Structure 1
Amino acid sequence: MRNGKLALPLTSRSHRSRPRLTALLDDGPVVLLSAPAGYGKTSALAEWAAQRERSIAWLTIDDTDDATALPTGILAALQACPVVPPGLPGRAPAGPAGFLAALEAVTTALAEPVTLVLDDVHEAPLSAFAVLDHLVRYRPDPLRVVLASRHDPAIPLARLRLSGELRELRAEQLALRPDEAEEVCALAGVPIDTATVHRLVELTGGWIGALRLLLLGLGDVGRSPETVLDDLVASSRPVADFLVSEILSHLPGETLDVLRAAGVCDHLDAELATRLAGRVDAGDVLDALERSTGLVSTYGPRRELFRVHPLLTAHLQADLRRRRPDRLAELHDRAATCYLDRDEPVEALPHLLAARRHEQAAGVLREHGLALLERGHRRAVASALAALPTAVVEADPQLVMLRAVVEAWQGDRTSAALDLRRARALLPADPPEEVVTAQRRANAWLQLLSDRCTDPPADGRLAADGSDAVLLAAQAVAAGRLDDAESVLTAADQVIRGDALLTARAVAYRAAVACLRGRYREMAQAAERAEALGVRSSPGWADCDGHAVCAVLRAHGALLSADPQRTLELLAGFLRSPEPDAPATFSVIAPVVLAHAGAAHHELGDPAAGGELLDRARDALDPQLHQPEQIAAVALLVHVTGDRDRSREMLHRVAVHLGGTAELAILQAAAAAAISRFSAAQRRLAEVTAGDLPPLVPWSSIEAQVLTCAIALATDQRGRARSALHEAVVAADRSGALRPLVLAPEPVARLLAGYPARTTSLAGCAREVLRLRRARSMPGRALALTPREREILRMLRSLQPLGEIADELTVSVNTVKTHVKALYSKMGAHSRRDAVRRAESLGLLP
């Protein structure tokens, strides 16, 4: 998330304060500003927000804010608000339910109301409007929402009007009144009489952008206000066309040249403006335009960045494209050169491609492509590769290798394998050193994303410094070489510390080491720290490997802490349909992700959804790809659900791959105990508890002690049961893995209730386990509604017919009826009104 998108814009020095608008913006839980460009929407919001900065969360939307990116952007905006406490969700799980859950987590922690401002809503892709619909429809009470758009967003505004929640400020309210227009004229230094001001307002409809452009002509020496206005009245062209075409014609040629040059960039500073326009005073020209007109705005901490009015940018680029395509290409080339001189390859790439500098763009990708991927710019790299001519890419082994890494990152192992073969076939017999180095790094990534990583890359190890050190650590973690991972990260610590993103990735892999060593509290803390640092360090963090690692480890920690709802929230991005969230599609983590989600659904009382996910996890296991630790983790998660048939099938599938492990012994003991073969079960468990079979998954030792305790109680061996329970509590207290005890059979829980803890810490652990067990039995928790059921339950509160609900959810009405029937069954309700009443009493509806 670019910091500029979250920053409150500063008002222009030519801005005229409009108190009547700021007063209107305080009214209503949802406010919509809808008017064409140039009506002062952002300026009015900026003035209003500056007076309430502490409680304002701001997000400027652009065309990248699709259904996946927008929820994350909204949460980032809220996190940037001073009154929002730190440590809350920084990335929205995919899907409406996940987004709303993350939003509720943020707003629940608020000590005072917050207003979320979404500016430039018209820039959002079509897919984002479903997110906006859910935002305004299910907005938590502490949150106000203000939307600014050039046209009405595609959300059901009629419903908001009927409920009285919507305050609308349209062109009529935003339009300048004569007294306001007179002040704007005075600020622009154009002395005109009151009659002319009234005529200006009449002709422009109070459109402040149009009025400011007209003032350029009115201030032109030798042209009377009456002449300019008469020209406008006589013209048959639209006002906008007149303003852009006629007013610009009265600007000095040098000024217009600067505007044309600056218009090829979304934003630029004085240095870039100088290089584009070829004038040392280009920054001064833009600064003067910012002071005197609405053509240019400035922003940034020191107002050092310029942005040409979008209307003018579109017109000027279209005009150049039509009349001087060579000049447009030259400007893009200058912009690219400047960005490359600044070592900003991501900014340079689109300009190189627009200038049709394909060879130079290919060179940038060769030199920086892998580093950009590591820094979360996968989409930019993928777009650039796609924009290059196919012949350019497929003749270059480095570009084909880079494309293979992108494909592997997206989970397309087949295409990645094909491109890997193509790249190797293209390599010369004696490639240059830089090509060899790039090949090693690409192979390392491909191995990490598509292989078990049992060994270092076949064609040589990487240098253990900087980003390569993090990549080496990632490989070592994937191969289970934990000492190597810690050694590499420690050796490169000083280099890594100089880069916030590298630091975040390194901390993520340190969290992974803690997980594999069974230090789950340390794991959770490190993963949270890495995620927070990553979000702050780079707008591309969501596409980094570190983010994927953090999401899985945080979900693992939530599950082991007996918080299945949080587990699903953290994993939702991996499970969305139809395509999983890249880079979350690493084939090497898919079974673990699916198994965690399935176990969480089971624990929340939805065995159907849980079973489907667990079956997918089982089917996704590939002994050629996945480590024994992953296979063991999936098998244990299936076992803990208590589904005997599924556990038996899983045991049959994995037995040959888990020979000689504690996990296989636990699964076999559970299967024996299920048919009352307690002696056989105890013999297998004894091998685990005695340490003869070390666990692949650290928390499985707790599961073994819990199962030992349950069998001992069933066979009236209470001393043995107490001893096993004590070992389980000690291990759970030490590691933070409470889940095996929370889900233990009821006889074990009763024994735990009388557990004579030997230390304060153990007593606290036992109390927490019992508290979590009680929470699981609370009525609202016992209902364990699925995300879709919760969504439909909220909609049942409205007067919508089921057919309309089905249309909004893009499902059939029969599907909605099935969910409603399940809701009635779970809640013991007999009607829609009864279901809503019961949900409110259980706290399932606000």
Structure 2
Amino acid sequence: MPVGREDGRRANRAESRSGNRLRNPSRRKRRDTLPSARGAQRVSTRARHPGRRMPEPVGPAGPMLHTTKLHPPAVRSTSVRRRRLSDRLGSARPALALLVAPPGFGKTTVLAEWAATDPRPFAWVRLDAQDNDRAVLWAYIATAVASAASSDGPVSSLTAAARAPDPAGALAAALESLGEELVLVLDDYYLITNEDCHAQVSRLIELTPRTVQLVIATRWDPPLNIARLRAAGELMELRAPDLQFNLDETREFLNGSLALALDRRAISVLHERTEGWPAGLYLAYLSLHESADPRQFVQTFGASNRHVIDYLTEQVLMALRADVLQFMLATSIVDTICGPLADVLTGESGSGQRLMDLERANVFIAPLDERREWYRYHPLLAELLRTELTRREPEKLPLLHRRAAEWYAGAEDPDRAIEHAIAASDTDFAARLIGQNYLRQIEWGRIATVLGWLDAIGAGAIATDRRLGVVKAWTMHFLGRHAEGDLALSSAMAAPEVSPLPDGANSIEATAALIGAAFPGGDVGAMLAAARRAFELEATRDSPWRITVHVQLGFALVRAGRFEEAKTPLRTGAELASALSMWMDAIGSRALLSRIELEIGDPALAERLAREAIDIADAHELTPTPTAAYARVALGAVLLRRGYVATAESLLSEALPTIRALGEPLALAEVLLPLAAAFRALGRRADARAALDEANAMIDAARDPGVLGVGRGRRAAPKAGPGMEALTSREVEVILAVSSGVSNREAARRLFVSYNTIHSHLRSIYRKLDVPSRDAAVDRARDLGLIK
């Protein structure tokens, strides 16, 4: 029902009264009290854990993204509309608009006011410390841009950009294709410290089309080539002197928005002593509102308290009722706060209503969603509250952080759970959380996040805790730092026993076998032995590793050239992985089955399996992972066999950097060999020779290269070497038949022989030509002039 004027006046009076409920009655005599628990805000129970409702996650898969970070804050009724600033921002179209000032200068407010008046859509990201991971940062940026873009445009390319190897380049290209005007705001950028994140943002600034305006708000200059942008005229800056209130704005704020009815002299004094600092003026208002003699307050403001922060401590916080101040101190340890989380931190109920009362009282707190479930203290106030809490009750900090960690763990937010567990010095809880969550973070490409956890918990804890040693071992291996991974695994094996490990492994022996099978270096024999041992220890357990060991065993058998034997564990792994949503194993098993079909079966089926693997990776945002790169290698090899050489080369070249980063020589050789063939077919002989030489060097250095060791794929010799056994006429017919790209079964049909006969002939051909595969045999036969 619409609210009439009378009802509106009653609501305003009620809000005015609630705004004074939080003040200390000893400072000003009032009869108002806090509302009872019956008036507490209702808490939604639609979350998986009642009472632990997190901001709604967005995106089909991957890490949770909090929607409260993806839109500007509401403009408060007390804000002064500073058209001089919003007009400058709206009229300028540089590559970057940069707002740099200490806290309390209204950077976010100015941007929110601009967003409310500019006709362009705004993509907004409020950054925090968890965004110091390229995968996380670009997930937020791409999601914000896709949400702001027109629904009629090709927005799928925007969200896909976050998963690209070059997210900034991919997003810029998608924005160019979209052709829409929009503004992208990165607020609180000072919290980004990761160099890779800075490098990618710099690249976005360089590549973003003119239809997009990029805006960064920060406390200090970011490392983004600011001087070069300024010299090129591609930078618009608003700094503290620009963001200060002028005298007219001070007057409008104090007498208009806040209705203080101060005379000109009082306004001039406050403006001069705060130097137009918006937060300082607002703090002055809070005390003026409580002062029995406003004129005297104005005369003394700033005289005995030169630092307004000190003034805030002495006047504003001390003016709050003791129970309200205690509530704010306890809830200041988290970045954002909601009623259920505040209940846990304070040990009380009715916190949702109390947060609403704080908002109405204008106590530097702002809602983050329209439902007013989540709030955020102004950074200035939050810093002060934490300092005051540390000064007053340092012994209480571990308890509060432990409560926060448990709440976030229940809400399935491991980032914040681990952050607070470490802050609580609860190494055992932190280690358990890290052990339970690190593999999924690595799967999502968030290795920087896992490294951050390990750095925060410290080398001493890692060295003495088996769970953390295992995490470090896997992480270092995934980074290609295998010596560090081996050292971490050795430390973990020497640490006190924990069984089962929090990542689900049965024992440290099982972990060692799993790592040995996943990162064998150049030793296929050791890989197969490790895979078999891991299979023995995990295949029959109700364990997340049960599927992985099937895929690992199949992979080892493929590398050993035992293709038929590999089919059974890989097919089982593929079925189980899809049924249980283990998407990395679903991708890997299909890519390996594709490789088998290409070698001894049906190229058409090989292509279908490889495309299935890539589709799964795309659907579950796993495109940047090495497993997805291996699927692209599988498809590239198939397309090369079928004559789509340019497409094959593109896929193989795209996968190469990700595979190379693993530091696994055999995996790299498996990319370089078909890539060399693609280069050769395209006439790029120098590139082909370089790729082939690198692959041969990897294979030659390997202790046991497996099937790759059957030959080196060299193509330099135009004639058969001394002692090379000649092919029979039937074998020449076979190699000629398969050179057209048909399957082994089709070649058998054309030659009127059985499939097994073709298979036997090919094995003999591989041996005689000293090659590992059909493709290599065809290339070798052409070099020798056996076929054209």
Q: TM-score, normalised by structure 1?
A: 0.65
Which runs of structure 2 are paired with 1:453-472 in the superposition (5 Å)? 453-454=527-528, 455-458=531-534, 459-463=536-540, 467-468=544-545, 470-472=547-549
Which runs of structure 2 are paired with 1:413-424 in the superposition (5 Å)? 413-424=482-493
Measured against aligned partners, the alpha-carbon deviations of 1:66-124 in whole angstroms (never above 9, x if no partner) come to 69556676556545543453146534777xxx566434532342232343322222222
Kindly indicate whether the alpha-carbon contact (under 8 Å) linking 1:335 and 1:348 is maintained by their aligned counterparts in 2: yes
Cα distance in structure 1, aligned partners of 2:267 and 2:369 = 34
Cα distance in structure 1, aligned partners of 2:198 and 2:237 = 18
Kindly indicate whether the alpha-carbon contact (under 8 Å) linking 2:513 and 2:533 is maintained by their aligned counterparts in 1: yes
Q: Report what 2:36 is aligned to.
A: none
Q: Report what 2:108 is aligned to.
A: 42
3-state SS of the aligned residue for 1:307? strand
Aligned AA for 2:149?
Answer: P
Pair 1:167 & 2:253 matched: no
Q: 2:417 aligns with which of 338, 342, 348?
A: 348
Q: Report what 2:281 is aligned to.
A: 211
Change (3 A) 1:343 1:73: closer
Q: Report what 2:569 is aligned to.
A: 484
Which runs of structure 2 are paired with 1:111-150 in the superposition (5 Å)? 111-125=179-193, 127=195, 128-150=197-219
- Once the two structures are aligned, what percentage of the paired residues are identical? 26
Pair 1:263 & 2:332 matched: yes
Aligned AA for 1:213?
Answer: L
Kindly indicate whether the alpha-carbon contact (under 8 Å) linking 1:57 and 1:77 is maintained by their aligned counterparts in 2: yes
Cα distance in structure 2, aligned partners of 1:614 and 1:669 = 10
Q: Report what 2:123 is aligned to.
A: 57
Q: CA deviation at 1:301?
A: 6.8
Cα distance in structure 2, aligned partners of 1:298 and 1:508 = 44
Kindly indicate whether the alpha-carbon contact (under 8 Å) linking 2:100 and 2:218 is maintained by their aligned counterparts in 1: yes
Cα distance in structure 2, aligned partners of 1:115 and 1:59 = 11
3-state SS of the aligned residue for 1:460? helix
Which runs of structure 2 are paired with 1:432-581 in the superposition (5 Å)? 437-439=506-508, 442-443=511-512, 445-451=514-520, 452=524, 453-454=527-528, 455-458=531-534, 459-463=536-540, 467-468=544-545, 470-479=547-556, 480=558, 481-491=566-576, 493-496=578-581, 502-503=582-583, 506-507=586-587, 509-511=589-591, 513-514=593-594, 516-518=596-598, 522=608, 525-535=611-621, 546=627, 549=630, 562=646, 568=653, 571-572=656-657, 580=661
Q: CA deviation at 1:313?
A: 2.5
3-state SS of the aligned residue for 1:442? helix
Which runs of structure 2 are paired with 1:222-261 in the superposition (5 Å)? 222-224=292-294, 226-235=295-304, 237-243=306-312, 246-261=315-330
Q: 2:74 aligns with which of 11, 35, 59?
A: 11
Kindly indicate whether the alpha-carbon contact (under 8 Å) linking 1:32 and 1:166 is maintained by their aligned counterparts in 2: yes
Q: Report what 1:28 is aligned to.
A: 93
Q: CA deviation at 1:164?
A: 3.5
Change (3 A) 1:590 1:667: closer
Q: Report what 2:161 is aligned to.
A: 90
Cα distance in structure 1, aligned partners of 2:631 and 2:113 = 39
Kindly indicate whether the alpha-carbon contact (under 8 Å) linking 2:636 and 2:652 is maintained by their aligned counterparts in 1: yes
Kindly indicate whether the alpha-carbon contact (under 8 Å) linking 1:55 and 1:114 is maintained by their aligned counterparts in 2: yes
3-state SS of the aligned residue for 1:265? coil
Q: TM-score, normalised by structure 2?
A: 0.69
Q: Report what 1:797 is aligned to.
A: none
Measured against aligned partners, the alpha-carbon deviations of 1:659-704 in whole angstroms (never above 9, x if no partner) come to 6xxxx7x7569743899x99979987645336422699x9965676
Change (3 A) 1:301 1:573: farther
Aligned AA for 1:10?
Answer: P
Kindly indicate whether the alpha-carbon contact (under 8 Å) linking 1:35 and 1:170 is maintained by their aligned counterparts in 2: yes
Aligned AA for 2:103?
Answer: A
Change (3 A) 1:398 1:170: closer
Change (3 A) 1:403 1:146: closer
Kindly indicate whether the alpha-carbon contact (under 8 Å) linking 1:78 and 1:116 is maintained by their aligned counterparts in 2: yes
Q: CA deviation at 1:352?
A: 2.0
Q: Report what 1:760 is aligned to.
A: none
Measured against aligned partners, the alpha-carbon deviations of 1:289-337 in whole angstroms (never above 9, x if no partner) come to 3344362233257442222222222233234334532122222122123
Q: CA deviation at 1:529?
A: 3.4
Cα distance in structure 2, aligned partners of 1:252 and 1:212 = 19
Change (3 A) 1:102 1:554: farther
Change (3 A) 1:339 1:103: closer
Q: 1:619 aligns with which of 689, 697, 709?
A: 697
Change (3 A) 1:700 1:7: farther
Cα distance in structure 2, aligned partners of 1:674 and 1:53 = 74
Change (3 A) 1:589 1:218: farther
Kindly indicate whether the alpha-carbon contact (under 8 Å) linking 2:538 and 2:545 is maintained by their aligned counterparts in 1: no
Cα distance in structure 1, aligned partners of 2:587 and 2:252 = 56
Cα distance in structure 2, aligned partners of 1:275 and 1:571 = 49
Q: Report what 2:23 is aligned to.
A: none
Change (3 A) 1:172 1:485: same
Cα distance in structure 2, aligned partners of 1:19 and 1:191 = 23
Change (3 A) 1:608 1:265: farther
Change (3 A) 1:400 1:433: closer
Measured against aligned partners, the alpha-carbon deviations of 1:728-787 in whole angstroms (never above 9, x if no partner) come to xxxxxxxxxxxxxxxxxxxxxxxxxxxxxxxxxxxxxxxxxxxxxxxxxxxxxxxxxxxx
3-state SS of the aligned residue for 1:254? helix
Q: Report what 1:276 is aligned to.
A: 345
Change (3 A) 1:29 1:570: farther
Aligned residues: CA RMSD: 4.7
Aligned AA for 1:517?
Answer: E
Kindly indicate whether the alpha-carbon contact (under 8 Å) linking 2:577 and 2:583 is maintained by their aligned counterparts in 1: no
Cα distance in structure 2, aligned partners of 1:705 and 1:35 = 66
3-state SS of the aligned residue for 2:217? strand
Q: CA deviation at 1:234?
A: 0.6
Measured against aligned partners, the alpha-carbon deviations of 1:264-307 in whole angstroms (never above 9, x if no partner) come to 11223211112112332333333333344362233257442222
Q: CA deviation at 1:492?
A: 5.3
Change (3 A) 1:667 1:549: closer
Q: Which moved more, 1:384-393 or 1:245-254?
A: 384-393
Change (3 A) 1:380 1:164: closer
Change (3 A) 1:366 1:601: same
Pair 1:589 & 2:667 matched: yes
Cα distance in structure 2, aligned partners of 1:671 and 1:76 = 55
Kindly indicate whether the alpha-carbon contact (under 8 Å) linking 1:597 and 1:610 is maintained by their aligned counterparts in 2: yes
Pair 1:305 & 2:374 matched: yes
Change (3 A) 1:345 1:668: closer
Cα distance in structure 1, aligned partners of 2:216 and 2:574 = 45
Unmatched segments (≥5 aa) in structure 1: 497-501, 536-540, 632-656, 722-846
Change (3 A) 1:140 1:407: same
Kindly indicate whether the alpha-carbon contact (under 8 Å) linking 1:213 and 1:294 is maintained by their aligned counterparts in 2: no
Q: Report what 1:220 is aligned to.
A: 290
Change (3 A) 1:293 1:441: farther
Change (3 A) 1:304 1:550: farther
Cα distance in structure 2, aligned partners of 1:553 and 1:300 = 46
Q: Report what 2:430 is aligned to.
A: 361
**Structure ranking higher on relative contact order (CA contacts 8 Å, 6+ apart):** 2
Aligned AA for 2:580?
Answer: V
Q: CA deviation at 1:385?
A: 4.6
Change (3 A) 1:542 1:236: farther
Aligned AA for 1:487?
Answer: T
